[in-house]
Structure 1
Amino acid sequence: MKKRVLSLLLCCIFVVTLLMGCSSKGTGNTNTPGSEGNKDNGSNGKGEKVTLEWETTATSEKIPVYQELIDKFTKETGIKVELVTPGNDYETVMKTRMASGDLPDIWETHGWSVARYSEYLMPLNDQKWFSRIDESILPVISDKEDNIYCLPLTIGVNTISYNKDVFKAAGVDASAIRTWKDFDDACAKIKASGVTPIFLGNKDSSTIAQLCEDIPPAFLTTQSVEDNQKEALKNGKFDFAKYWTPISEMVDSWMQKGYFNKDVLTSDNDAGCQALAKGECGMIFGGGNNILFARTYNPDANLGYLACPGVNEDDVSFISMGEGTCVGMWKDTTYPEESKKFLEYLSQVENCEKVATSSGDIPGLKDVKNEDAYITQAFREAQTMYKGDIEYVPLFDREYLPSGMWDDLGVGMTKLIMEPGKAVKDSVDYLQDAYNNKMIK
């Protein structure tokens, strides 16, 4: 009797368990990866709520834009994103985190997606937005195997910005400037018209360092240079006396000819943008967003970009390109699918446009326009003006010089401004010593 009761009890338990299992399958809330159960509820396949960490270099106007995008993403997907903003300590924080092996899910690569971060980042060639990347930035963000490790929301362009009306009044054809000799001739015409050819706001010495983004490639590293110095620069064997002297001599000659503004040592880059906008100078060197800043002083300013010239007539013209706002994802993130979903969200035209507008940079995706479309149009116009005969090169200091040499470039080149006609050797020797010391470190 006891055995019959026990058997009956076990059967009841079995039936109840079976019914519970069937009921569970019928609810559709199993939260398996890719199922409707975890769609848009912010949980991963284990039913856990997901919070991604996004580390950014942003310190000002970008942060509210990023937070707005994050809030919308969370509302749509349920996936939370924590925005971390170390400010000026960004590089120090990231180096510490790389050493500890504890990295954020998403971070801005600030020019170093390949050289510094590629071993920590997930290759992203298989993402839907890959085919939308502007071809001008691809060489800069690709490794030797053509892998990319970041979503380029914006492009950092470094070249020569010019005032079209000043050029026209001086009789200068921008499209005809294909060598540095042509550039010198243009400066002479602009000066003769009563306008300063080049504004250099060198109050903190960083502006003159911009010349070292836009001149050296023509002498040292573009595809036109026969005695190419790419490898020598990278392996610590570069001879400044032999190869940099012509660069310093050219800048020194501009100073002696009066091509720069007289207050070069006391003015700043903002003053240069104002002068460009008002037609008080013909050109300024530096970031492509100088045009955007200039037009805040004169919205009607007629401005454009010049590609940097070569040394010889048959040499290619070039534009220095760098990462603007570019984000990659940690290859060992706990949440790879959620991280990819966030990158996909940022790549959407409306969202990428907001980022580009907030930074004043050129969008890195072909189908995106900055709300202030002027700079995008200026860039496309420059590409057309050179009819495809243009090389896109990486930012010189980031690609070929040891880390921390930017300030040295400013100090070394400032010597030419302080002692025109007398400081070429001193300038070159200073740069050689700085290069040697930092290569040892």
Structure 2
Amino acid sequence: MNKSIFSLSSVTFLLVALTACNSGDNETNGDSNESGSNEGEVTLTFYSTMGEENEIDAFESIFADFEAENPGIKIEGNFPSGSYEDTLRVRMASNDLPDLFDTHGWAKNRYGNYVADLSDMDWADHFDESMEPILKDEDGKVYAFPINQAKDGIMYNATLLEELNIKVPETMDEWIAAMETVRDEAEGDVAPLWIPGNDQFAIGQILDQLSTPLLVTDDDNNYEDELLDGSFDWSNYNLLPEKLLEMQEKDLLNVDALTANDAQRAQLMSQNLIAFTFAGGAFGPDVQELNSEVEIGSMPVPAFFEGDEPSWIGGERHTVAASKDSENLEEAKMFIEFLAQPENAKKIAEATTLPSGLTNVDAENFYAEYYEKWSHIEVQPYFDRVYLPSGMWDVYATTGADLLAGSLTPEQVADVMEEEYQRLRDEGAEETEE
């Protein structure tokens, strides 16, 4: 979901990265003969946004199995984590995309002209219906293989909530009340909402997910048309930064919300020091590995307005697409077909603790109990992917951090969001015309 606004420092980084791409570095070189492989052997470059150890281990296991069945093909796996998007942007600009790569939410809108059509593959008949609009167009082109499908909400300490007799909240007011109970009962020892703000994108994630119930799902507060045509009045966004600031002022956030590191989170939750947090699917298993007596639940994002329902936020999470200009396109498609075999698709979906994107794959899921409990709740697409121009993710992150740092008021946050929204829309329109 991340998007980038190019500052001077990021441009410098990109130039350095571009130099590396053109230097023959084997991480960014799609030509197997130049990457040190034996003559006649094909090396496929593979890039993914996956960063959890168990996810990477699952992929490397599949790489090994594929190579064993196809001795003339090697796979060079790359998992650059936070630098993934900048790396892919550089490679896209130089028309040097990897043979295989994760479209991370942008299969159509960003990478659509760069990826091969996968509609002739056997697995394409087994798309989960919720994935088809995201990865398939009206002409039948299939843009990427869906490893899994996102179903984001809020992770919570189910053990702690049960001990404190707190009902899982369904509205914003109930959620704030629940956090106030945690604060009071734990006498400040437990963070009601824990944010790893050392990475500003964690703050952006919260604001992006909460934008959906604020601006889309409630019938009386639905601004879809205005957001899409550019006429949205950003004063309607004020309530979201106001609520985040209210949480801070009521001591509902960890005191180090702007500096805390994500690496601390599982350990703190395993010690019953966190009640709620926005985290990825691997978080629950990580906590249970540290302390099996702490149960981690997953709940939809609370509704802002009375009469509305909570929302799962999701859609495309991890995928594998093939570069249409790859010199090894046939071999790349062979790997995708191998990955789509039910036993392999099951392995990688379970490693990500998310539902598979295919109907013929029955993957066990750590949060199955909670997904079943909330199965009546509709999955909404990530807000920024549908309603905001490319680049707004960074604005979410920086304005949210500035709000918590006291540098911006909620009204000023909305003003900056409006300015950047219009600027980036205009830039996008100019690029389209060119």
Map 1:209-288 to 2 at 5 A.
Answer: 209-222=204-217, 224-240=218-234, 242-288=235-281
Map 1:253-332 to 2 at 5 A.
Answer: 253-331=246-324
Match of 2:371 among 368, 374, 383: 383
Residues 399 and 54 from structure 1, CA distance in 2 versus in 1: closer, same or farther, beyond 3 angstroms? Answer: farther
Alpha-carbon distance in structure 2 between the residues aligned to 1:278 and 1:137 = 37
Alpha-carbon distance in structure 1 between the residues aligned to 2:157 and 2:79 = 37
CA-CA distance at 1:136 after TM superposition: 4.9
Q: Is the 8 A contact 1:219 1:225 kept in 2?
A: no
Q: Is the 8 A contact 2:202 2:397 kept in 1?
A: yes
Please tell me whether residue 405 in structure 1 is matched to residue 405 in structure 2: no
Please tell me whether residue 414 in structure 1 is matched to residue 404 in structure 2: no
SS at match of 1:267: coil
CA-CA distance at 1:383 after TM superposition: 2.7
Alpha-carbon distance in structure 2 between the residues aligned to 1:339 and 1:412 = 41
Residues 197 and 90 from structure 1, CA distance in 2 versus in 1: closer, same or farther, beyond 3 angstroms? Answer: closer
CA deviation vs aligned residue, 1:85-117 (integer Å, no higher than 9, x gap): 484665455445545656554332122112112
The gaps in structure 2 that reach 5 residues or longer are 1-38, 428-434
Alpha-carbon distance in structure 1 between the residues aligned to 2:390 and 2:317 = 18
Map 1:69-218 to 2 at 5 A.
Answer: 69-78=62-71, 80-83=73-76, 85=78, 87=80, 90-91=84-85, 94-95=88-89, 98=92, 103-125=97-119, 127-143=121-137, 148-174=142-168, 177-194=169-186, 195-218=190-213
CA deviation vs aligned residue, 1:73-94 (integer Å, no higher than 9, x gap): 2432455244364846654554
For residue 394 of structure 1, what is the amino acid of its counterpart?
Answer: P
Match of 2:417 among 431, 434, 439: 431
TM-score normalised by L of structure 2: 0.75
CA deviation vs aligned residue, 1:101-135 (integer Å, no higher than 9, x gap): 56554332122112112233344455332354445
For residue 282 of structure 1, what is the amino acid of its counterpart?
Answer: A
Match of 1:51 among 7, 23, 42: 42
Alpha-carbon distance in structure 1 between the residues aligned to 2:318 and 2:417 = 30
1:15 corresponds to which residue?
none
Residues 112 and 426 from structure 1, CA distance in 2 versus in 1: closer, same or farther, beyond 3 angstroms? Answer: same
CA deviation vs aligned residue, 1:198-227 (integer Å, no higher than 9, x gap): 1122233332222113210012233x4445
Alpha-carbon distance in structure 2 between the residues aligned to 1:404 and 1:331 = 25
Segment of structure 1 superposing worse, 430-439 or 80-89:
80-89
For residue 212 of structure 1, what is the amino acid of its counterpart?
Answer: L
For residue 426 of structure 1, what is the amino acid of its counterpart?
Answer: Q
Residues 138 and 308 from structure 1, CA distance in 2 versus in 1: closer, same or farther, beyond 3 angstroms? Answer: farther
CA-CA distance at 1:308 after TM superposition: 0.9
Alpha-carbon distance in structure 2 between the residues aligned to 1:221 and 1:145 = 28
Q: Is the 8 A contact 2:152 2:300 kept in 1?
A: no
Alpha-carbon distance in structure 2 between the residues aligned to 1:366 and 1:322 = 15
The gaps in structure 1 that reach 5 residues or longer are 1-47
Segment of structure 1 superposing worse, 300-309 or 150-159:
150-159
CA-CA distance at 1:391 after TM superposition: 1.9
For residue 387 of structure 2, what is the amino acid of its counterpart?
Answer: Y
Q: Is the 8 A contact 2:44 2:332 kept in 1?
A: no
SS at match of 1:305: strand
Q: Is the 8 A contact 1:140 1:393 kept in 2?
A: no
CA deviation vs aligned residue, 1:339-394 (integer Å, no higher than 9, x gap): 44321210123323443455565543456577xx5xx231x323321242x12122
Residues 94 and 192 from structure 1, CA distance in 2 versus in 1: closer, same or farther, beyond 3 angstroms? Answer: closer
CA-CA distance at 1:303 after TM superposition: 0.9
Q: Is the 8 A contact 2:49 2:318 kept in 1?
A: no
CA-CA distance at 1:59 after TM superposition: 8.1
CA-CA distance at 1:178 after TM superposition: 2.7
CA-CA distance at 1:285 after TM superposition: 1.6
Q: Is the 8 A contact 2:281 2:352 kept in 1?
A: no
For residue 203 of structure 1, what is the amino acid of its counterpart?
Answer: N
Alpha-carbon distance in structure 1 between the residues aligned to 2:342 and 2:382 = 26
CA-CA distance at 1:52 after TM superposition: 6.4
Q: Is the 8 A contact 2:179 2:192 kept in 1?
A: yes
Map 1:5-24 to 2 at 5 A.
Answer: none
SS at match of 2:153: strand
Q: Is the 8 A contact 2:49 2:84 kept in 1?
A: no
Alpha-carbon distance in structure 2 between the residues aligned to 1:111 and 1:387 = 23
Segment of structure 1 superposing worse, 111-120 or 136-145:
136-145
TM-score normalised by L of structure 1: 0.74
SS at match of 2:314: strand
Alpha-carbon distance in structure 2 between the residues aligned to 1:144 and 1:253 = 45
Q: Is the 8 A contact 2:108 2:135 kept in 1?
A: yes
User: What do you get for the CA RMSD once the two structures are aligned?
Assistant: 3.4
CA-CA distance at 1:51 after TM superposition: 3.4
CA-CA distance at 1:328 after TM superposition: 1.7
Q: Is the 8 A contact 1:79 1:338 kept in 2?
A: no
Larger Rg, first or second structure (1 or 2):
1
CA-CA distance at 1:150 after TM superposition: 1.2
SS at match of 2:378: strand
- Number of residue pairs the alignment of both structures matches: 383
